[in-house]
Amino acid sequence: MSTQSTAQRRKNLTEEYLRNRKDLEIEFQQFLDKNRHFGLMVLDRVKKYGSRAELHHKPYGTWETITWEQLGEMMHAVSSALIEYGINEEDMVGIFSPNRAEWHIADLGSLCIRAIDVPIYATNTTREAEYIINDAGIRVLFVGRQMQYDRSYPLLDQCPSLEHIVVFHRDTKIHENDPRVILWDDFLELGRKTNHETEIARRLERCHYDDKATLIYTSGTTGEPKGAIHTHKSLMHNSWAVGYFPQAGHFDHESTLSMLPLSHVLERSWCYGVLQIGAHIWYCEDHTQILEHMKEANTILMNSAPRLYEKMYSTINAGVQKASPFKKKLFTWAVATGAQAGERKMNDLPVPLSLKVRHAIADRLVLKKIRMLFGTRMHHVNAGGAPINPEISRFFYNAGILITPGYGLTETGPVISMNGPKCFKFGSVGPLVPLVEARIDKDTGEIQAKGPNIIKEYYNKPAETKAAFTDDGWFKTGDIGHFDEDGYLYITDRIKDLIITSGGKNIAPQMIEQAMMEDYYIEFIAAIGDGRNYITALIVPSFAALEEYARQNNISFSSREDLVSKPGIRALYKKIIDDRQKDWGRVEQIKKFTLLPKEFSQEAGEVTPTMKVKRKFVEKKYADIIEAMYAEN
């Protein structure tokens, strides 16, 4: 009975979201006609909300607030200063910075003069930034702090297109005698003094939703990064379609924590939607302070990659393992009680009085403490960029925090499908959002998509553009998946990531890696086995946790190289691997592993800015170690 009730509820919601396509097309066109362009949209909200607070950031140690009026004034100053620098319509402007209010102000000020802005991940190396600057032809580059400035300043002499660097953080040590470099405050003053109001007005009159808004570069997991050309329309689709879902709600006067990098298409399009409905944005510039920021900002929503929730989950469980027998028993009972109440809630069933009482006790003693890690008001948190284990989703749901996975790519604006509080299935990435279509290729199992959110081309890469689409115009996601009977999408792996063993077995390495990286003692893992007769793994330990373990177990070591070679440490990781893969088929099991003494890093080329392992690069770099594992008897 409960299964039928749940299925019917989901079916009804899906039909509601995907009602007559013509009606949806009319709604979306009305949305486009009303908002037209992100610059115009925000200027309209400036008039509407005036002195109300909007942006909140903490670049200098205390929270600072920027009102809508201040946002509009600074956008105008940015537009004017860029015109003074000779920036024309469709010229490229780069933003190389972590999340902070200036990121959005520079972005929106650029859009208001119909420039095209190009985000660069704040963690990118000089070489990675140089590639994007040259490929896009960036003329003015906004940078965040000292690290981004130091990495970009040499490029003024190495990148032919780059003419100016504007530095957000006022404490940055810059080359003061170089006229090509200017601090943010001085840049705004330049714009206020020159005040190209007439030219700005002319350009705003020409603004349209078909204007190119941005180049967002792919992470380069499987090759050279490509600049996905998004128009205002393709990104506005997310503002409309995600907000159209009833569970997303309308949280005017409410707030989101901007933690996922704004250079990532999900956070970028999400924050445009937040601005569109007039909600507050709080910025987390430093991810090491995320737990502190979640409590202080106390927002109702946020986006994150699953790694944050995985680390929280493993840290909580590691702490429980160190607790007294009584506290362990209490924790286990409380989580089980939360699961019983959560299951009934998920299936729209009443909670019996006895369970209500037990749940109230469990919540007060344990579950509330888990929930408080997110602040006191968090409604739910979105997960994107990688798959999340349903076990982790269930754990937090039973504690009162719903993690809602969605699915999309840089090229798709990004949302193709999404879960939400009223249409949710553990393990899925939700139903399709309105006006997006998807099909599964019958030969490869690949997900292919169509919709107004999908780019038409990559910048200056016609061959790559052609290869990204089928002959009949569907975008090839490169991901393998399937739909269930209710229209919920499930992702199983990436085509290019599949391991095909010498015995012809297809194995999804992400499933192996995801399961292992949930452990407290594992930071990164790369599963190896393509063309081999069994699976091996390169493992980067979570060294802070491992060093603490060694001290507690009287394992002495002189260096990390020494630490990972200790028999007691190898035994720990063998047990972790064996425990986590005990229910897997033999062909999927890791037979041998090597512990690496150094973290993977973006600087070394081992991971992307979004912390995905570059498998081919890692296999090549550590080829000798890998060959040694297969040479062992």
The pLDDT tens digits of the residues spanning 197-248 come to 999 999 999 999 999 999 999 876 666 789 999 999 999 998 887 665 434 4
Q: Give the β-pairing of 489-494 and 499-500.
A: unpaired
**Are 94 and 156 within 8 A, CB to CB?**
no
Which pLDDT value is given to residue 494? 79
Token reading at 98: 């972590």
Check whether 4 has a pLDDT greater than 50. Answer: no
Q: How many CB atoms lie within 10 A of CB 581?
A: 17
pLDDT on residue 497: 76
At the topology level, CATH places domain 36-208 in Rossmann fold (3.40.50)
Whole-number average pLDDT of the chain:
91
Q: Find residue 165's DSSP bridge partners.
A: 141, 181
Confidence (pLDDT) at 561: 95
Residue 100 clears pLDDT 70, i.e. is over it: yes
Residues 6+ apart with CB under 8 A from 401: 370, 371, 374, 378, 380, 381
Residue 255, H or E segment: strand 255-258
Residues near 151 by Cβ (< 8 Å), separated by ≥ 6? 96, 124, 125, 126, 129
236: left (phi over 0), alpha (psi -120 to 50) or beta: alpha
The CA-based angle 172-259-387, given to 5 degrees, is 135
Are 143 and 126 contacting, i.e. CB atoms less than 8 angstroms apart?
no
**pLDDT tens per residue across span 499-511:** 888 777 778 888 8
User: 3-class SS at 601?
Assistant: coil
Give 328-354 pLDDT, tens digit per residue: 999 999 999 999 998 888 888 899 999
| Residue 288 DSSP symbol | G
Does residue 18 carry a pLDDT above 60?
no
CB of 318 closer than 8 Å to CB of 520: yes
CATH 3.40.50.12780 boundaries in the chain: 9-32+237-318+374-495
Determine contact, residues 298/375, Cβ cutoff 8 Å: yes
Please tell me the predicted confidence (pLDDT) of residue 251.
54
**Confidence band for 2, pLDDT divided at 50, 70 and 90:** very low
* pLDDT recorded at residue 248: 42
In the chain, which residues fall in CATH 3.40.50.980? 36-208
Owner of token pair 């999804």: 508
Mean pLDDT, residues 162-173 taken together: 98
Whole-angstrom CA distances from 70 to 50, 197, 203, 345 are 9, 17, 21, 44
The answer to whether the CB of 571 falls within 8 A of the CB of 556 is no
Residue in the structure block whose two tokens are 């007060």: 364
The reported pLDDT for the residue numbered 246 is 39
Amino acid making up residue 461? K
| CB 318, CB 523: distance < 8 Å | no
**What integer is the mean pLDDT of 145-150?**
97
313, 373 contact by CB (below 8 A): no
Whole-number percent of the chain with pLDDT over 90: 71
Torsions phi, psi for 420 (to 5 deg): -160, 170
| Separation CA 111–CA 520 (nearest Å) | 43
- Measure the CA–CA gap between 37 and 44, rounded to whole angstroms: 11
- What φ, ψ does residue 484 adopt, rounded to 5°? -95, -175
Using the CB atoms, write b or e for 5-14: b if 16+ within 10 Å. ebeeebeebb
Residue 581 DSSP symbol:
T
Instruction: Map 430-494 to HEC letters.
Output: CCECCCCEEEECCCCCEEEEECCCCCCCECCCHHHHHHCECCCCCEEEEEEEEECCCCCEEEEEE
SS3 of residue 539 by DSSP: strand
Whole-number pLDDT of residue 221: 62
Domain with CATH 3.30.300.30 in the chain: 498-631
Task: Select from 3.40.50.2300, 3.40.50.2000, 3.30.300.30, 3.40.50.620 the CATH code of 498-631.
Answer: 3.30.300.30
CATH architecture for segment(s) 9-32+237-318+374-495: 3-Layer(aba) Sandwich (3.40)
**Is 173:146 a contact under the CB 8 Å cutoff?**
yes
Query: How far, rounded to the nearest angstrom, does the alpha carbon of residue 467 sit from its chain's CA centroid?
Result: 25
**Largest CA-CA distance found in the chain, in angstroms, rounded:** 77
